[in-house]
A and B are shown apart, each in its own frame.
Chain A
Amino acid sequence: MKNVKVNIKLNGRKFEREVEPRTLLLDFVREFADLTATHMGCDTSNCGACTVLLDGKPVKSCTVLAVQADDREVRTLEGLGEEPLMKRLKEEFIEKHGLQCGFCTSGMLISSYSLLRKKSDPNEKEIREAISGNICRCTGYHGIVEAVKSVKGETAREKLPESPELVRR
């Protein structure tokens, strides 16, 4: 079985590696790039603890092969740290108890971030729908929804500079 070369722009930095084709994007990010914010919570494509942005859209990195991300942009939580919107979300996650154990948190933050990028003023139903691919076993989701609510509306485009690759579709 032949290895293949992949070239992934990970958090704005080029990562070129020879990988086994079966390598999951999750493991590429964690093992090769040593970025451990992205977690494996289930291997059954349900929990979303492994959520990353692929070309600006949130996906489950445990259900994407690294080769599928070849020549594409991947952002993990580490790579979104300086985004003002993400900073606000993190503050509110802490403030509103949007986490307890914290294992789902990076995925939750990315799905919430992604929602607010798409729609700056979502209602509760839309918030709940947007994070429905991310399972939290601790909070009952309430604190997470409240955190997103308190950031919504702040995301008017002009207030938040953003990296161009994040909005590329």
Chain B
Amino acid sequence: MSSITDIVNGKGRFVDDISFPGMVHIAFARSNYSRAKLLYVKGGYTARDFPYFMASAGEGATEEDLSLRAPVLASKFAAYLGEPIAAVTGKNRYEAEDNLDSVEIDYDPLKPILDPVEALNSEPVIPGVKTNIISDRYVGKEFSAGEAEIVLEDRLENRRVATNPLETRGIVAAYDGTKLTVWTPTQSAHSVRDGICESMNLGKESVRVIQTDTGGAFGLKGGVYPEYIVAASLAMKLKVPVKWIETRREHLMASRPGRGVVGNMRIHAMKSGVIKGISGDVIVDAGAYGGASWSSGWIAFQITGPYAIPNAYFHARSVMTNKVEQGPYRGAGRPEASFMMERMIDLLADEIGADPLDIRLLNAAKDKFRSPTGMEIEASAGFMARAFEKMEYRRLARESKPGISCFALIPAVSDGESCRIKVERGRINVWLGGNAHGQRHDLWVAKLLSGKFGVDPSIIELQLGDTDMLKEGVGSWGSRSAIVGANALLKVADKVIAHVKKDKGAYTARALLSGDYDEYEYANEKGMLISFCANLAVADADAAGNVRVSKLKAYYDVGKALVPDVVVSQIKGGAVQGVGQVLSENIEFDQDGQLMAASLSDSGVLNSVQSPDIDVYLEEVPSRFPHGAKGVGESPTIGVPTALVRAIERSAGIRIRKTPVSPEEIVNARSRVK
């Protein structure tokens, strides 16, 4: 991995920096329509050359019915705007793009179905299936409204958001006749390898995936994409190295964006503010094909968050539309769930005239609590009280109109992570299944390992992901990688120490460094790790509807902060993504299915002038893991949007039901209220 010094010196090795003699560049001819029959496709490499399908078919697919599996290259039908149809090559980017002229595609455009609610009952958005619903389940337990004195309903929505890492997707692939080597920026070298192997029916030993310096990911770079399969196939077919670098426009239309959920929520409560139950529909805009069935049930599972709500029952569905498949975006279901809960609890507070903090405290878990969906939390009331005292909510509430939020972060610790430590010639190399791309895992690896081994941290080096250097691995996502990575690291370090003891009788740093040791372990992990977090925001909207965020605060239980500076930096960066989701980030289509976000700025990513700072307070209640850490990465994208939406709502005197909320929507809502 390039060191941070290499990076500031411009010596990072990102995927586009990798070049080989004779390498060719790939460009893709993509569907100009959101939904169309393909009458013919001529020129370039097409599905005839590479008749592969993506590995993941989602939960709706069966062995016999593979209609839900996305083709690597569309041949008969284009199911979303930007779907790859043919690939061409050239000796550089320019020539590859020139060669797109050689591809002819004849379309028979059909009316696209873009709205997930419409898609619930519409004709199928792709051929070969009977319904667009790819995941349909009831989560929690049915209950009767019975004693509730108040039932409030609302329709809530998070529009789709592009992940927009500054470095887009990209891949270099080379084939030596027996082994395919792939260089790619990724959150998981192993999942890219497994995806390629499964699609192309290759043995795992015949594919090596090496992570390059990774210019941001945010969920985008967790898995494999059709373009990667094409690149791998072309490298094998042409027997020359190939490169594909995604353009930003391709990113906005054809990489997997996040969010995209509608919730019709009902909250059942007493006049006192005690919440008796929450129920409703969760409808996820899964996009085309069956790969994105994962999130609706996951959202429903965690809606009750840090609250002890005795009844919860949700109808969770993922629905196909004529858009690119939805993917995880920082938070991945957690912000959506919290948006549903926090919007409803604020609605209830307004209905009964209660203070938003009082109502949260009233419904916080006073003791361990198991939600009707099976989510087990510790007592949250004490945390909430501490959080809002530290963030000075009561004082701020007297002088302004702060919005607040609370949530329970569930990092994806399940299934654990792998680690390898290799001691050789007085140096220590480390590989993790969930590697870093800006999270500075190098710092905690050096800190924990130098402490454990009693060696100078400068001889420890964290390596990038590499499937040939590490047998198995999961990946960096879901606020997990430091928790399970550090756990695996300490376990493997123990193995190394035991090995040294066995060899030398006793462990000393000198004994360690004078020998060669190579230990690996996959540290499995079951169960959940839940921490509580809270946010506060103050904002106002001017007469034109433009929002100014004047205060943002975070109070998060991060467990033991492995590297406190880095934790704070993660929170600050994530907070701006959260603000972006509320103020501007979206990728909208017009009614004909043409993408209206044609540039990075159109897609609403905030610049330095638009970005507020955030005050961060850390609470460090150690977790059950030996290192004591809990999750961090996704927290600000969960708690900032909900607190900020509330702050805007209060200052503008309107009800906000959707992100993003545009200046026009604020003005229009305000004029309706008046």
Where the two chains meet, the residues of A that have a C-beta atom closer than 8 Å to any C-beta of B are 20, 22-23, 27, 30-31, 35-47, 49, 76-78, 81, 90, 93-94, 97, 99-106, 109, 127-129, 131-145
Contact = CB atoms under 8 A, between A and B. Distances in A.
B10 A77 contact: yes
A27 B609 contact: no
Contacts of B440: 100
Nearest to A77: B10
Interface stretch (B130-138, B146-154, B213-221): B213-221
Contact of A49 (B11, B166, B609): B166
A46 B437 contact: no
Contact of A135 (B568, B569, B605): B605
Contact of B214 (A101, A127, A141): A101
B608 A39 contact: no
B165 interface: yes
Contacts of B453: none
A128 B610 CA distance: 9
Interface of B: 2, 4-5, 7-12, 14, 16-17, 92-94, 164-168, 213-218, 245, 247-249, 437-440, 565-566, 568-570, 572-577, 598-602, 605, 607-609, 611, 613-614
25 contacts: A20-B94, A22-B94, A35-B10, A36-B10, A39-B167, A43-B248, A44-B601, A47-B166, A49-B166, A77-B9, A90-B9, A93-B8, A100-B439, A100-B569, A101-B213, A101-B215, A102-B2, A102-B4, A102-B7, A128-B609, A135-B607, A139-B572, A141-B576, A142-B572, A142-B614
Contacts of B214: 101
B553 to A, nearest CB: 14
B8 A45 contact: no
A81 B10 CA distance: 9
Contact of A103 (B14, B93, B605, B608): B14
A132 B607 contact: yes
A35 B575 CA distance: 33
Contacts of B92: 27, 31
Contact of B8 (A90, A127, A134): A90
A27 B438 CA distance: 26
A137 B165 contact: yes
B215 A139 contact: no
A90 B8 CA distance: 6
Nearest to B636: A140
Contact of A40 (B16, B569, B613): B16
A31 B94 CA distance: 12
Given A46-B599, A101-B215, A102-B12, A138 B573 contact: yes
B575 A39 contact: no
Q: Which of A46, A141, A143 has the most CB of B within 10 A?
A: A141
B11 A104 contact: no
Given A77-B9, A99-B438, 9 more contacts: A36-B14, A44-B599, A97-B569, A100-B569, A101-B166, A102-B8, A105-B7, A133-B607, A140-B572
Nearest to B11: A37
B10 A106 contact: yes
A97 B566 contact: yes
Contact of B166 (A94, A104, A133): A104
Q: Which of A35, A38, A93, A101 has the most CB of B within 10 A?
A: A101
A131 to B, nearest CB: 5
A20 B94 CA distance: 10
B609 A132 contact: yes
B79 to A, nearest CB: 25
B605 A40 contact: no
B398 to A, nearest CB: 28
Nearest to A31: B92
Contact of A42 (B14, B600, B609): B600
Contact of A100 (B2, B248, B573): B573
A78 B10 contact: yes
Contacts of A23: 94
Contacts of A44: 248-249, 598-602
B10 A101 contact: no
Contacts of B14: 36, 39, 103
A7 B572 CA distance: 44
A140 B16 contact: no
A17 to B, nearest CB: 14
B614 A140 contact: yes
B215 A43 contact: no
Contacts of B605: 135, 137
